[in-house]
Chain A
Amino acid sequence: MSRIRNTLLLTLLALAACGETTAPGDRPADSEHRRPLIVASNYPLYFFASEIAGDSADVKLPEMAGDPANWKPGSAEISLMQSADLIILNGAGYEPWLGWVTLPESHLVDSSAGFSEEFLPLREEAVHQHGPQGEHSHQGVAFTTWLDPSLAAKQAMAIEQAISRLVPENAGQHRDRLAALSARLETLDQAFRETFDRLGDQPVLFSHPVYQYLESRYSLNGVSVHWEPGEAPGTRAMLALSEILRSHPARLMLWEEEPLETTSVELRKLGVQSLPFHTAANRPDDGDFFDVMEVNVASLLLNCCGTTIGPQQEPE
């Protein structure tokens, strides 16, 4: 009986299909030869993809104000990504907008998917409760994977594989460029190691919980707070920091951006030196990814790791 019913249904459905005879319209004029378009979700990925693709593809980084981790793509950026042949993602929860933006799944490349077992869990968990679902939290993993050059190299490798699948005729060139990029990342890794080795086991503060992979790779003795470079921390935060300093007597705080002068002064009073260590998540004003990282290394060597860090004198 069910089979007969299905037969009738099929007849009906097929007739629905027969009803209209209009042929599918032609695709928009896309026949002209164009280079594949690759869109990246942050600057390191954009840089790696540009270095690897060379002339094989156009690589774009959408305009993003501030930290790409907080980016909310608008309709223009969504259209750009929908028209891309590859959308390179950092993964590890870096792109929360994937939850509400519609993109072609087959064009997405999660560059960190290959080492998900190496993700570091976030220490903080914001638990909240509402409605019948009850208590829940938005816990996740740390996402600034590229600060560990060995993980960055793995991401670059995933990007190379995706680009070579897209433009297989240039796969050899892509592999050569990947090798060059990996060598530079290895050099950076060496530079980081030498720099942080000088720091030894000294306690360090991080202005934001974004340095987990750096901390893990170079065995840094760090504690993160939640301070914004452009905002004064306030009394409560300063008191909390004083409390932290009792058990974690750090003399150095690494910042994503140069903090306010007043903040630096307040920290100096506590014997903590402020030092920017840029994550290069967004396009730098000058130079490229390696330039930013070299500045980070030079700054560390110049300001702290080459000398003994001690309480700062109050500026007169």
Chain B
Amino acid sequence: MTGAFFLGWRYLAFHKLKTTILVGSITLMLFLPAAVRLLVNDSATALTARADQTPLVVGAAGSPLELVLNALYFHAEQPPALSYDNFSELRDAGLAVTIPMYTRFHSRGSPIVGTTLDYFSFRDLNLAAGRMMGMLGECVIGANVAARHKAGVGDSLVSSPETVFDIAGVYPLKMNISGVLAPTGTPDDNAIFVDFKTAWVIQGLGHGHQDLERPQAAASVLNRSEGMVTANAALQQYAEITPENAAEFHFHGATGDFPLSSVVVVPPNEKNGALLRGRYQNNAKGIQIIVPSSVLNDLLDTVFTVQNYIILGLALLSLATVAVITLVFLLSQQLRKGEFLTLSRIGASKTYLATLIASEIGFVFTGSLVLAAGLTFITRQYALQILQIFLGF
């Protein structure tokens, strides 16, 4: 009987093109629904996990989804800005721990997340090396950022201008790396964390320069009248914040009007959470307070609906594929009548011939199954890179 398997294997090996097409078709038929389900389920699990860990997010009135994407995943699309006064009001209410977030700038493709040290406690982020940022201009980087840029404690990163021609706009700021976070498998691995005031410096809302009252700055003084000093263009502004010049950095304008992207709100109990939600019901004061998990659940409902349509489509395609493959095998039997007659004449039984055909079909399906499993495994491992290539992100 092993001869039938051998003959079947040799037949498939001889007809390489036909075998490849058959195996490829069946592989795709098995792989595609599995991959779609895998991607959607894994995405849903990861998204829900991070959203579930984030009780409330406050932002300016606008798209709740954009707000969640920005606050939780540091997505580049900017929700409308919240003012620092809005944050102060929330904080001073004393109903919850409030964590300001300002995610607008980038450095070599990695988002710069302006926040406070409370964020690290909230997300349970630990240092793999170094220490937390201690002053303006220092940053703590995620594990993937460290690996991608081959950067560590003591190195520095420079913020990227928002546009190439933005000469008068955002100032590139050299940020010194004070610590590297341990990997967490979350978007935090891909972020550069700074004090939110550092993000304001990047935006140009704050700057540092020589103290005009000191004699060393005499050459930079254009005019000095009673109670007022006017500087000339020679006034040296600092492009890097160091322990020596940090105290010279200051902000102009009303800090209360300075922007933030969102505020992560962590109430100690449900009662405080409900009180806060009541305060900002119906986008009161132009501010929305959202529960990230419910925003994502709404989205995931859509995702699962789309997934079901895709799987239904793939099932119909699979039926068509099975029909075509059946046709191929039937036609193949017709074409191989002479071959089967010869085998019968030299003593092959009907069972032998049936085994031969079954082995060919079995080899094709087994090979397809193995390939589909392998592709599914690869998809799980490298899905991010694959999507990056095809979606261009």
Contact = CB atoms under 8 A, between A and B. Distances in A.
B387 A19 contact: no
Contact of A7 (B97, B134, B253, B306): B306
B102 to A, nearest CB: 13
A1 interface: no
Nearest to A14: B43
Interface residues of B, number: 80
Interface in B164-212: 182-187, 189-190, 195, 197, 207, 209, 212
Most-contacted residue by chain B among A20, A74, A97, A130 (CB, 10 A): A130
Interface in A57-101: 72, 74-75, 78-79, 82, 96-97, 99-101
Contact of A99 (B39, B49, B92, B250): B250
Interface stretch (B11-19, B122-130, B273-281, B353-361): B122-130
Contacts of A25: 126, 128, 182
Interface stretch (A102-110, A142-150, A245-253, A266-274): A102-110
Contact of A131 (B50, B98, B231, B249): B231
Contact of B190 (A7, A16, A72, A97): A16
A32 to B, nearest CB: 17
B116 A102 contact: yes
Interface string A17-36: 11111101111100000000
Interface string B56-70: 000000000100010
Contacts, number: 182
Interface residues on A, range: 35 or more
Contacts of A141: none
B229 A128 contact: yes
A102 B251 CA distance: 15
B189 A127 contact: no
A12 B388 contact: yes
B227 interface: yes
Given A12-B384, A18-B46, A20-B189, A72 B247 contact: yes
Nearest to B247: A72
B132 interface: yes
Contact of A101 (B134, B182, B183, B220): B134
A262 interface: no
Given A20-B185, A113-B92, A14 B229 contact: no
Contacts of B212: 128, 130
Contact of B40 (A11, A78, A101, A138): A11
A100 B247 contact: yes
Given A22-B185, A99-B197, A131-B235, 8 more contacts: A8-B391, A11-B39, A12-B391, A15-B387, A25-B182, A99-B251, A100-B246, A124-B227
24 contacts: A3-B302, A10-B43, A11-B43, A12-B388, A17-B50, A25-B126, A25-B128, A27-B124, A75-B243, A82-B117, A82-B132, A99-B249, A100-B135, A100-B249, A102-B116, A102-B195, A106-B98, A113-B92, A127-B227, A128-B228, A129-B229, A129-B230, A130-B235, A136-B252
Interface of A: 3-4, 6-22, 24-28, 72, 74-75, 78-79, 82, 96-97, 99-106, 113, 124-131, 133, 135-136, 138
Minimum-distance CB pairs A-B, first 5 = A130-B231, A14-B43, A20-B185, A128-B229, A17-B46
